[in-house]
């Protein structure tokens, strides 16, 4: 199975900050990577797929990059509604569809 490792596990940031989250796959997955946001008590929400394609309706302050084993999710200017947990997921070799352990973005 492909293992997905996110870093950091948590981070503290302020409104307006630029935030970067990293996801590493245990083997190459081309660009078959998605990013999800999960606010407390809510269902996950798809932000990006194919590593860098923004899902419809997602603000342009979210962006993704990477290919192979190393990927990045960037929030260019953190907004109050962005304090949440973020998960990467690979869908290159399935089953299983595997998620990273998550990164929690907390208010500084």
Partner 1 sequence: QVQVVESGGGVVQPGGSLTLSCAASGFTFTDHGIHWVRQAPGKGLEWVSYIRQDGSTEYYADSVKGRFSISRDNSKRTVYLQMNSLRDEDTAAYYCARTLYGAHDAFDVWGQGTMVGVSS
Which parts of this chain interact with partner 1 (CB under 8 A)?
32, 34, 36, 38, 42-46, 49-50, 53, 55, 87, 89, 91, 94-102
* Shorter beta-carbon distance to partner 1: residue 44 or 76: 44
Rounded to a whole number of angstroms, the minimum distance from the CB of residue 44 to partner 1 is 6
Rounded to a whole number of angstroms, the minimum distance from the CB of residue 56 to partner 1 is 9
- SS percent in the chain: helix, strand, coil, step 5: 5, 50, 50
The residue with tokens 């190393």 is: 70
CA dihedral of residues 20, 26, 27, 28 (deg, nearest 10): -10
* Shorter beta-carbon distance to partner 1: residue 19 or 86: 86
* Shorter beta-carbon distance to partner 1: residue 83 or 91: 91
How many Cα atoms within 13 Å fall on the side-chain side of residue 87?
A: 17
């Amino acid at each position: 199975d492909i293992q997905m490792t996110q870093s950091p596990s948590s981070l503290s940031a302020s409104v307006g900050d630029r935030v970067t989250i990293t996801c590493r796959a245990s083997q190459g997955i081309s660009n078959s990577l998605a990013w999800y946001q999960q606010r407390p008590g809510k269902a996950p929400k798809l932000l990006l797929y194919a590593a860098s394609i923004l899902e419809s309706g997602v603000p342009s302050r979210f962006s993704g990059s990477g290919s192979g084993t190393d990927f990045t999710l960037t929030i260019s200017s953190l907004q109050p509604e962005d304090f949440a947990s973020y998960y990467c997921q690979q869908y290159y070799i399935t089953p299983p569809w595997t998620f990273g352990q998550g990164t929690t973005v907390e208010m500084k």
